Amino acid sequence: MKLKSVFHMFMLIALFTFLSTAMAQEKKASDSEYSIDAKTAFERWHAAPDKIKILDVRTTGEYVFVGHAPMAYNIPFLFFAQEWNNEKEKYNMPANEDFVAEVKKKFRTTDTIFVMCRSGSRSAKSIQLLKEAGFKYLYNIEDGFEGTTLKMEDSYNNGQRIVNGWKNSGSPWTYSLDPELVYNPKH
């Protein structure tokens, strides 16, 4: 009888472990549902260009001079100020106070929007703001337009953004400007 009880206890533990693992994997999948890499983002957009919008939240300077996805709307989340911050040892980047209003001019709250910046940080922050404003279907392009930096001390390219991202994934990009997509607060 004791052997049967031990067996049942073992089976319950095994079942509990299996269910816990399955639930953790499901949670993981749902967490990543709102995060997408650049290559997959392009593939999904390409499969349904009328259903998916691409929003580039980098500064206008980045969009114009570094390049951009040809279908991406540019609405900066932050602006580049030509004021050096000695404390932070970088230039100030003030918030675009009209960011949500500008996004609402271009998109509906029910649109599926893939959001990108340089490397995924500003886009994640902008998504939080847009969610608070009622947008529902937002995906962070986690490796951004330029991707992450190469960490190989002996490489000539060490520290350069060549690892992943839209520009390095084989997805199309351009320097050409479409007046319908470029940020123009007066429009």
User: Do residues 169 and 163 make contact, with C-beta atoms less than 8 angstroms apart?
Assistant: no
- Mean pLDDT value across residues 94-109: 97
Tell me the fold of 34-187: Oxidized Rhodanese; domain 1 (3.40.250)
Lowest-confidence segment of 57-71, 108-122, 141-155 by average pLDDT: 141-155
pLDDT band at 158 (very low <50, low <70, confident <90, very high): confident
| DSSP per-residue string spanning 48-99 | -TTTEEEEE-S-HHHHHHT-B-TTEEE--SB---S-EETTTTEE---B-TTH
- Mean pLDDT value across residues 104-112: 97
pTM of the model: 0.79
The structure tokens listed for 92 are 């100030």
Hey, how many other C-beta atoms are within 10 angstroms of the C-beta on 149? 14
CA nearest neighbour of 141 among 124, 129, 126, 128: 124
Q: How far apart are CA 12 and CA 32, in angstroms?
A: 30
> What pLDDT was estimated at residue 5?
52
User: Do residues 141 and 116 make contact, with C-beta atoms less than 8 angstroms apart?
Assistant: yes
Percent of the chain with pLDDT over 70: 82
Residues 68-90: pLDDT tens digits? 999 999 999 999 988 999 998 98
- Mean pLDDT value across residues 31-40: 80
The structure tokens listed for 134 are 């009622």
Beta bridge partner(s), residue 2: none
> What pLDDT was estimated at residue 16?
41
